[in-house]
Amino acid sequence: MPGKASKPSIKNEFTAFKTNRIVEVASHLFYERGYSSCTLDHVAERLGVTKPFLYSYFKNKEAILAAICEVGISESLSVLERTLAGEHADHRALLAEVVRQVGRIVIDRQEYVVVYQREMKHLSAKDHERILRLRHSFDHQIAELIREGVEAGEFREDTDSFVAVWIGGLISWIPTWYSPQGQKSAEDVIDQLVDAAMRLAGAE
């Protein structure tokens, strides 16, 4: 089961690897078929194992979903915090960099993000609340960045810090239409995303 800190050993690495593979495959199948319509037998089959195998790594189906949702939001949050902690010329540059980094994560982790958004309601109350807190922290930190930028005179003064929610929406919206097989490359999409976010912030 995930969530336990244990000293590193070859054994724990094996376990972590298998846990990770389960989450990967489950994410892909939940993305394709939806959480409720995807059976654990499907997941096991795709992994070349059987259902009880899954139950020695996760307590139940919902725990797998929780692990997926956690990837969906927590990687974005940690790259946000890492970027905010770094050095930047001004708020404009910082916002652009934050949006670029998070956009990249969201594109890389497309399926996790979509599953997280679509299926969060199937989490237990406890998991649901924990994930929601991460999301709010994300929105809150972007709102703070906007507020400071307006104060510094770098964004249009009539910019409400609520645009943080709109920017979050822009980012979250990508995985519902972007496809790696499409005409637009990931880099194009990210460039356009950054441009759109700067316009919303009134930073041009």
Partner DNA sequence: ATTCCCATCTACTGACCAGTAGTTTTTTTC
Partner DNA sequence: GAAAAAAACTACTGGTCAGTAGATGGGAAT
Q: Which stretch binds DNA (CB under 7 A): 55-63, 90-98, 155-163, 167-175?
A: 55-63
CB of 187 to a copy of itself, least distance (A): 14
Q: Which of 169, 162, 145 is CA-nearest to residue 96?
A: 145
Does position 11 bind DNA by CB under 7 A?
Answer: yes
Does position 12 bind DNA by CB under 7 A?
Answer: no
Distance CA 175, CA 115 (A): 10
Does position 46 bind a copy of itself by CB under 8 A?
Answer: no
Q: Which stretch binds a copy of itself (CB under 8 A): 65-73, 78-86, 92-100, 174-182?
A: 174-182
Distance CA 6, CA 56 (A): 17
Q: Which amino acid is located at 160 in the chain?
A: D
CB of 25 to DNA, least distance (A): 14
CB of 114 to DNA, least distance (A): 19
82-87 CB contacts, 8 Å cutoff, 24+ apart: 84/141, 84/145
DSSP 90: S
Q: Which of 40, 114, 120, 142 is in the footprint of DNA by CB under 7 A?
A: 40
CB of 149 to a copy of itself, least distance (A): 15
Six-digit token pair at 196? Answer: 């759109």
- Tell me how far the alpha carbon of residue 160 is from its chain's centroid: 25
Question: Residue 22 or residue 203: which is nearer to a copy of itself going by CB?
Answer: 203
Question: Residue 40 or residue 163: which is nearer to DNA going by CB?
Answer: 40
Question: How many alpha carbons fall within 13 Å on the CB side of residue 87?
Answer: 0
What residues have CB less than 8 Å from 113, skipping those under 6 apart?
Answer: 72, 76, 106, 172, 175
What part of residues 66-95 is at the interface with a copy of itself (CB under 8 A)?
A: none
Q: Which of 18, 28, 122, 130 is in the footprint of a copy of itself by CB under 8 A?
A: 122
Q: Which of 130, 1, 108, 127 is CA-nearest to residue 65?
A: 127
Does position 53 bind DNA by CB under 7 A?
Answer: yes
Q: Which stretch binds DNA (CB under 7 A): 19-27, 47-55, 127-135, 190-198?
A: 47-55
CB of 201 to a copy of itself, least distance (A): 9
